[in-house]
Amino acid sequence: MNIDFQPIETLGRRLYNFSATAIEVDKANITNYDKYGIQIIGDYEKYVNYTHEIFGQISGTYKASDGNILISKIDPKYKKSSNEGFINSVNNLKWLRLEIESDPYVIIEDNDGKLIKATKSSTITDSNATVGHIIIINNKEIIVKTQIDRYSSNPGNRSNDRNITSVSVFELKEDNTIITDLEFKYDTVAIIDYTANLIETEDTSSLANRIYYYQKIGQLYNSFDPQDSLMQKIYNKYSVNYKKYYQSLLDITNVSIESCPNAVIYIKDSKDTNFNRHVIENGYLQLKDDEATIEGLYFCGVHLTECTDPLETSTVNGLTEFILKEGIYDNFSDIHNPENGGIYQIKT
């Protein structure tokens, strides 16, 4: 508002002084740029997502209280099966096969036309009774009739009812049918085969609305095994996850190490592609680079100095050092034709 241009005479009127009054009407973001016609942004999505099909199976006892099986049973199976930072969710099923192993029951209609399991007090006639199971697909009640009798033993004797197991099979395979709801009206034991449409989206549950960065001074103290990842131990030390916030290690900018003399440590920083070997000769080492961060470090034993005579020992900082070679010997006199700089192991 109130825009004004005034040419600068001394510069040949090629530059202008500009003045205006600006009033902020809303937050500066992409949604509002599009809303007020400031910038044409076209079509966009806030989160990246992918879709794919997967064939799967679940089995067990499904209760009427489970509700929609897609949400209560199938979706949790794939929830955390995606790449880090993403999450899977079941959108729908496009093919379904049920093999129901529960004993069938008599099905009749109540006064409202709903399908129910018949009880001892129910009035049953040949015209209104069906034997099978009730399932609900897309809020529609469907009767799965008992079709197969399995004989666990003595199949030639049909009079032995104790050996008969009833199995009801239902398959929905129409290409144009999308299943978004699957329920069992009564507790049912079943095997469910399906083709599910999965949507892979960014896991927004780990996104923070506020981010704080700060430095800490920390310490690890222990005896470490060779090639034991110290970076993982440091990361685990500062990784916490609470209901309202979480904390994780971002990087390590410098490290100071105190250890036994001549300890060997391998360190890699962000400038290097390989680990560099360091010998902590006097028991203390400090590494610091303002332009790099520590990406890996691990100990790898103690550096032994070479003896001038393979048959002799040397004493450094109160520690007796031996040259070691493949094989174990009782003493140096057992070593014949010792090699210069050879390595031998002596029993103690």
Percent of the chain's residues with pLDDT above 70: 77
Sequence-distant (≥ 6) Cβ neighbours of residue 240 within 8 angstroms: 246, 247
- Name which of 46-60, 145-159, 166-180 the model is least confident about: 145-159
Buried/exposed 225-260: b ≥16 CB within 10 Å, e otherwise = eeeeebeeebeeeeeeeeeeeeeeeeebeebebeee
- pLDDT band for 332, please (50, 70, 90 cuts): low
pLDDT at position 184, please? 94
pLDDT at position 311, please? 45
SS3 157: coil
Query: What is the tens place of the pLDDT at every residue in 187-217?
Result: 999 999 999 998 888 776 666 677 788 888 8
Look up residue 192 and give its two tokens. 């469910």
Instruction: Give the mean pLDDT of 304-327.
Output: 52
> 114 or 126, which is more confident?
114
pLDDT at position 328, please? 66
pLDDT at position 260, please? 85
Query: Does the pLDDT of residue 292 top 80, yes or no?
Result: yes
> 145 or 123, which is more confident?
145
- pLDDT band for 121, please (50, 70, 90 cuts): confident
Sort strands 345-346 and 328-329 into parallel, antiparallel or unpaired.
parallel
Sequence-distant (≥ 6) Cβ neighbours of residue 207 within 8 angstroms: none
Q: What is the pTM of this model?
A: 0.47
Query: Does the pLDDT of residue 277 top 70, yes or no?
Result: yes
Query: Does the pLDDT of residue 228 top 90, yes or no?
Result: no
Give me the amino acid identity at 3.
Answer: I
pLDDT at position 15, please? 86
d(CA 34, CA 343) in angstroms, rounded, equals: 75
pLDDT at position 202, please? 75
pLDDT at position 275, please? 92
pLDDT at position 135, please? 93
SS3 297: strand
Query: Does the pLDDT of residue 310 top 50, yes or no?
Result: no
- pLDDT band for 75, please (50, 70, 90 cuts): very high
Instruction: Give the mean pLDDT of 164-170.
Output: 74
Query: Does the pLDDT of residue 130 top 80, yes or no?
Result: yes
- pLDDT band for 62, please (50, 70, 90 cuts): very high
Among the ranges 20-24, 27-31, 95-99, 285-289, which has the highest mean pLDDT value?
Answer: 95-99
Among the ranges 75-84, 115-124, 141-150, 253-262, which has the highest mean pLDDT value?
Answer: 253-262
pLDDT, mean over the chain = 80
Look up residue 288 and give its two tokens. 């610091």
pLDDT at position 196, please? 92
Percent of the chain's residues with pLDDT above 90: 22
Length of the chain counted residue by residue:
348
Do residues 116 and 109 lie in contact, with contact meaning Cβ atoms separated by under 8 Å?
Answer: yes
